[in-house]
Structure 1
Amino acid sequence: MLNWLRATAFCMAGCSALAIAAPEAQNSKPFDPQALFAPLSLPTPATAIRSGAGKPGAMFWQNRVDYKLHATIDTDSDTLHGEEVITYTNNSPDSLPTLWVQLDQNIYRKDSRSSMASEWRRSQFTDGYRFDKVTVRIDGESYDAKFLINDTRMRVDLAQPLAAKGGKLQLEINYSYQVPGTWGGRTAVTPSEKGKIFEIAQWFPRMAVYDDLHGWNNNPYIGSEFYLEYGTIDYTVTVPWNYWVVGSGKLINPKDVLTKTEQQRLKQAQQSDKTVYIRRADEVGKADSRPVNSGTLDWHFRMERTRDVAFAASPAFVIDAARINLPNGKTSLAMSAYPPEAAGSTKWDRSTEYVKGTIEHFSQWYPYPWPAAVNLGGHGAGMEYPGIVFDGMRDHDALLFWISAHELGHSWFPMIVGSDERRHAFMDEGFNTFIDVYASDAFNKGEFAPKRDSEYAPKGGNPVDEILSVLADPEAPTLMAPAEATAEKYRHSVTYFKGALGLVLLREQILGPERFDPAFKEYIATWAYKHPSPSDFFRFMESAAGEDLAWWWRGWYLNNWQLDMGITAVKAVDDKKGKGTSVTLISKQPLVMPATLRLQYSDGTTEDFRIPVESWMRTGTPTVVLPVTKAVKSATLDPEHKLPDADRSNNSLTL
């Protein structure tokens, strides 16, 4: 049980979603049981690839992408030069005459679609990616492929189609691009008192996903999030000798890039539940905090079972770390990197404590799988990548905890469970905000709980009522609406807030934790490193939890329906069926939910009854007869105010 809702007030980036059901613009439509409880055809049919139980079927397949990368940063011109070898494995049943590659840096071009279509206006631009050729290597031979660049996509035309069911080739691409300034948002070069901070993401051309639902997922990158294939990424970053690099995955060569003292401190941190400084603030800028005093250093990282990597580089980093204890008996490393001006007892000094605590809590759903989790204090875009998150060096107190926890929660959605966040935003932001809610309750005995959404919370009101204005808004999109088609005024309230509240209500009011928690954990484990659709999730939860939830998916997800239940009559009955107390209910909105009915008796005692959703399946004015013969003084529906009821004035009746 929790106080509601701790949705993030610092909206992270949104996600795209395929429009599979248009919202019905009848937010005040009367209740119709035939509409709510009708059989539901989910957007994606069950097949041999995706089963009726919401699991990967006998014929499930997924392509694989492995990357070998080398990035060199020219810190004077803020330019990244990259060398890339993509190994692409086609496990699909289709031969592929062309391949599609994502070029996300092209979003910063003046002529990009995003520059015209996004609500976020830019006044500064780059030229995007620069490269001359794409080399294809297959079966021991190589050739220069023809390619076409269109906005943030590149089509590579193959001399011969890549064979189905295991065909493999390599793409070799050399490229460069200008790293944007802080106006770049998620990836930027940021000034600090002790030097530049390079936050490098979306930095290499990445293969688009080819799947059984859409074929090539090659929509232009407008600024929403990502949909990527899994594999192993091995990457090296070359920077000036005085720079420190933190990044996704495991640092392979600490002996080459750390001093002996720093190596010893790192080993100590790996065994410590308390934060250990690997590079202190008073050591920043000192030559003896680096293993060499001239030239460059190559920082080598490797990450397995990942869809992406990101990194940050700066001469200004304070570095600290601590051990993460995982429920499977393994450990990982919590690490923070930030400039000295971010330090402080209520600031970034506590970052690693936040990383450790939240990762350990989130791991109850599924153990954190990677060797490190890094929190980077820089520009402050509030953005997540596998193994590293980018947060703000000026964040502090509760905001630093909340934003760190939220971004780290994305390790599970969509970094482990690889849903298509370009199309289905609620499976990314909503699912993450859901687990984030409970992390805020758990951390340090609720030090930063409850996490509230100050933008939507009625002053002095019950937190669950924060969603009422959204449900009543006929222009509000559904959870299934495309991210690019979701206006900024609704992005947070629908994608994050409603998406999370839907799962909280499912867990606490519809299924109960005893059924929800095992099903949700099994869903994560089943779809780890795979690509589930909303239909897969809906089917999985129904099958694993043992409940037909078509009415809930229809009302909360496919539509934006309101809830308004009430009581119209309470009376004693004595007929041939026996004695009892009848309670007549009413619904004035299209959606209903199971609810608690509390009777207060004349002797001052109370008794609770659970009204199941099936009570509403035949009529909007059901009468339930309770085995009660005591005199009733009053009746209240949803007495603890757990449901988003639009009008609570009819929830109680006094006799």
Structure 2
Amino acid sequence: MKYFKNSIFLLLLAFSFSIVAQETNYGNQHLFDDFSYREGNVYRSASGKPGPEYWQNSADYNLEVSLDDENHTVTGNVTIQYTNNSPETLEFIWLYLEQNRFTENSRGTLTTSVLGSRYSGDVEGGYELSEVTAKTKTGTSSKHLITDTRMQIFLDKPLAAKGGEVTIKMNFKFKVPVEGMDRMGRLETEKGVIYAMAQWYPRVAVFDDVVGWNTEPYLGAGEFYCEYGDFDVKITAAADQTVVCSGVLQNPKDVLTKTQQNRFSEAEKSDKTVYIIKPDEVGKSSSNAKTNGTLTWHFKMENTRDVAWASSKAFIWDAARMDLGNGKMGMAQSVYPIESDGTAAWTRSTEYTKNSVEFYSKTYYPYPYYNAINVAANVGGMEYPGVSFCGYKSKGASLWGVTDHEFGHNWFPMIVGTNERRYPWMDEGLNTFINHYSTAAFNDGEYPTNTDKPRGLVRYLTFENREGIETSPEVAHARNLGYTAYYKPAAGLFMLREYILGTERFDNAFKSYIRHWAYKHPQPNDFFNHMENVAGEDLSYFWKGWFYGNGNIEMGVSSVKPHEGNYLITVENNGEIPMPVELQVTYTDNTTENVSLPVEIWQRGNSWTHLLKTKKDVKQVVLDPNKMLADIDTANDTWTKE
């Protein structure tokens, strides 16, 4: 028995060496290993779902403000009902004061290039605060500390875990910036100023199970991370102002004329756009519910992470019904100045808004809000729950693109509440990905989309100073941010759906991710884990290669040789990211055959030979015949018989 065992061992050893001799650069296991923390806990499961003890704090807001359109200021007060659902007591509460970004000595101002950027902003703003209090069952505290765009409010005693409540109140005032970092601001038009109002009230920072308090300063490219809650908002403005806001208007009879009320009711039943305020009515006293003084507009919104609003006496206003599926209806609306009027421009805004929201609602997850309002402003494109600000000069394909993108954000991050300040790809990238399918569906492809052409990224992917998707938005170079946050992650998801997993497996996983994390706070690993668990595929090689690092895809066909009446097709992997292989074989009789090879062919080396069993003569072999991959060198993708 001993001799037999030794003989078997020597034979196996010799066989192993013969296999290795046929492979080159063996030892690719590191490309397939797990790359990050993949285990679950009671808060976040290994399957990528919220765990059995997942918790999340909440904040309800009552806001009352007045707009002074002569001095361009907003004055008001906020009451925040904050609930600590976490398993630990809290000695203080962190809030964001994002209007403090618009001061001369803010961190955001001091870290913006003197040459300026998209995220440049005015420096004559900032909050004036008064009467700051935090009241719990045990007492009231007014002690607080302001650091740049953050505010720490100290409590009289630690706030109880698992349900402790504190009521925070304060008065605030600020000057509305003209240039609000391309996220808010004010625009002079022929008929009046348009105020696009965002990041306009003190709001609670997120306390989560991952880092505790999320207190990154508001600098520029990094966006937002917010808790969910209910909002009650009252906005007082001059009687000649039209105000729109996230949420549902509670007092239309007080602020709209009888004609406008009737038109609004008509729009609620119409799939075609209906004017609420017509172009020739802008600026006329007959368009105002009162001829002088002020009006208070009252709005409510439930289970939202934010609210935004806009006000102007220059607004044309139109609307149409949205069919959100399952018998639920909503209202698509647009407000814009006469400079934006026209069928090539904003006259189609409500049509675009309606189609965009209806598509996402029926394809991915039901739209939760009644209104979707597009506001023409001096903001290139910025999203808030139920409200988007888009460039007032946008037209045609440009207006469709920005409208579709900003309303797509209602799914990422308004419904799926990711941390935009740390992981912009989780909202921008996923949103850019779904924008592709919405655009392809709109009017049977009226406008072009390029997400289905990942090879269009090759110039960036081979750029010497490229940066990875994981790069912080505040660190990424301005010329790279569009790729790291938007285009590269979107292209990656496209390849995952159309090339790696297939549409059915991907869609099952993607929709499940949205459903399980709706109104919650997923992290990158939650997304990775959930996609893998539902699709039933270990995708570590893909997450690691495409989402973390600067590696590239580069595969090719190195040879096609006759072999015992069949053919040996050898493919090679010259890149850092292994991928499954799709081949199209064309025979001399012009028939074709497709060959699919799994990604595991690259586990032990960078060259693989496949036996093609056929009695026909091969004329051509093409790798990735549908051009789905962002392969940086396509010169070796095709073998042709000489």
User: Do they superpose with TM above 0.5?
Assistant: yes
Picking from 624, 634, 640, the partner of 1:648 is 634
Tell me how far 1:42 sits from its aligned partner. Answer: 2.1
2:92 maps to 1:101: no
Deviation at 1:79, TM superposition (A): 0.7
Alignment of 1:111-260 (within 5 A): 111-119=105-113, 120=116, 122=120, 124-139=122-137, 143-182=140-179, 184-223=181-220, 224-260=222-258
- Alignment pair present for 1:487 and 2:477: yes
Q: Amino acid of the residue matched to residue 62 of structure 2?
A: K
1:282 to 274, 277, 280: 280
Which residue in 2 is equivalent to 1:48? 42
Report if the CA contact (8 A) 1:470-1:494 is conserved: no
Amino acid at match of 1:207: V
Residue in 2 that maps onto 1:76: 70
Deviations 1:3-44 (A, max 9, x none): xxxxxxxxxxxxxxxxxxxxxxxxxxx89622211x214246
Letter in 1 for 2:142: A
Is the 2:470–2:484 contact (alpha carbons within 8 Å) kept by the matching residues of 1?
no
Structure-2 separation of matches of 1:149 and 1:134: 12
Deviations 1:226-259 (A, max 9, x none): 0000011110100011111011011111111111
Does residue 621 of structure 2 align to residue 635 of structure 1?
A: yes
Cα offset, 1:502, TM superposition: 0.7
SS of the equivalent of 1:226 reads coil
- Whether contact under 8 Å (2:324, 2:366) holds in the other structure is yes
How far the C-alpha of 1:63 sits from its partner, in A, is 0.4
Larger radius of gyration: 2
Shift of 1:441: 0.7
Alpha-carbon separation, structure 1, partners of 2:141 and 2:87: 26
Q: Given the alignment, which residue of 22, 27, 30 partners 1:35?
A: 30
Deviation of 1:605 after TM superposition, in Å, equals 1.4
1:595 aligns with 2:581: yes
Q: 1:615 aligns to what SS in structure 2?
A: helix
Task: Spell out, residue by residue over 1:77-109, the C-alpha distance to the aligned partner (whole angstroms, 9 max, x if none).
Answer: 101002100000000001000110000000001
What's the CA shift for 1:342? 1.1
Listed one character per residue, the Cα deviations across residues 281-318 of structure 1 (whole Å, up to 9, x for unaligned) are 11111112111111111100111110000000011111
Mapping of residues 425-464 of structure 1, within 5 Å: 425-451=424-450, 463-464=453-454
Query: Post-superposition shift, 1:463?
Result: 3.8
Alignment-mate amino acid for residue 395 of structure 1: S
Deviations 1:525-567 (A, max 9, x none): 1101000000000000000111110110010011221111111
The farther-off stretch of 528-537 and 465-474 is 465-474
Cα distance in 1 for residues equivalent to 2:26 and 2:251: 64
Cα deviation 1:137-177 (Å, max 9, x = unaligned): 222x7534210100000011111011000001100010100
- The amino acid of 1:298's aligned partner reads T
Q: Distance in 1 between matches of 2:181 and 2:608?
A: 56
> Is structure 2 residue 292 aligned with structure 1 residue 297?
no
Matched, 1:533 2:527: no
Aligned residue in 1 for 2:418: 419
1:217-616 alignment runs, 5 A limit: 217-223=214-220, 224-363=222-361, 364-451=363-450, 463-574=453-564, 580-616=566-602
Query: CA, structure 1 residues 385+171, in 2 after alignment: closer, same or farther (shift >3 Å)?
Result: same
CA contact (8 A) 2:139 2:156 kept: no
Structure 1 residue 434 displacement after superposition: 0.4
- Superposed CA deviations along residues 339-374 of structure 1, whole A, max 9, x for unmatched, are 122110111110000000111111111111101000
Structure 2: distance between partners of 1:487 and 1:123: 18
**3-state SS, counterpart of residue 132 of structure 1:** strand
**More displaced 10-residue stretch of structure 1: 482-491 or 621-630:** 621-630
* CA distance in 1: counterparts of 2:27 and 2:104, whole angstroms: 51
Partner of 1:456: none
Query: Which residue identity does 1:396 align to in structure 2?
Result: K
Given the two structures, how large is their TM-score scaled by the length of structure 2? 0.93
Alpha-carbon displacement from aligned partner over 1:390-431 (angstroms, at most 9, x marks no partner): 012211111111111111111111111001011011101101
Deviates more, 1:313-322 or 1:113-122: 113-122
Q: CA offsets, 1:412-461, max 9 Å, x none? A: 11111001011011101101100111111111111112357xxxxxxxxx
Which residue type is aligned with residue 608 of structure 1? N
Paired residues, number: 612
| Counterpart code for 1:603 | D
Cα distance between partner residues in 2 of 1:528 and 1:303: 17
For 1:85, the equivalent position in structure 2 comes to 79
Contact 1:374 1:387 survives alignment (8 Å): yes
Q: Which amino acid aligns with 1:445?
A: D
Is this contact kept in 1: 2:453–2:628, CA < 8 A? no
Distance in 2, matches of 1:310 and 1:186, equals: 11
Q: Who is 2:9 aligned against?
A: none
C-alpha deviation, 1:45, in angstroms: 4.2
Structure 1 Cα separation of the partners of residues 590 and 430 of structure 2: 42
- The amino acid across from 2:217 in the alignment is P
Mean CA deviation greater in 113-122 or 508-517: 113-122
Cα distance, 1:183 vs. partner?
A: 5.4
CA distance in 2, matches of 1:648, 1:169: 61
Matched, 1:66 2:60: yes
Greater length-normalized contact order (CA 8 Å, ≥ 6 residues apart): 1
CA contact (8 A) 1:581 1:629 kept: no
Q: Quick one: percent identity of the two aligned structures?
A: 44
> Is 475-484 or 415-424 further displaced after alignment?
475-484
Separation in 1 of the partners of 2:439 and 2:283? 36
Is the 1:413–1:431 contact (alpha carbons within 8 Å) kept by the matching residues of 2? yes
SS at match of 2:457: helix
Amino acid at match of 1:406: H
- Aligned partner of residue 191 in structure 1, secondary structure: strand
**1:493 alignment partner, SS class:** helix
CA distance in 1, matches of 2:344, 2:304: 33
- The gaps in structure 1 that reach 5 residues or longer are 1-29, 453-461
Shift of 1:124: 4.0
Q: Letter of the 1:493 partner, please give it.
A: Y
How far apart, CA to CA, are the structure 2 residues paired with 1:437 and 1:623? 36
Structure 1 pair 73–32 and aligned structure 2 pair: CA distance change class (3 A): farther
Letter in 2 for 1:556: W
Aligned residue for 2:639, secondary structure, equals: strand
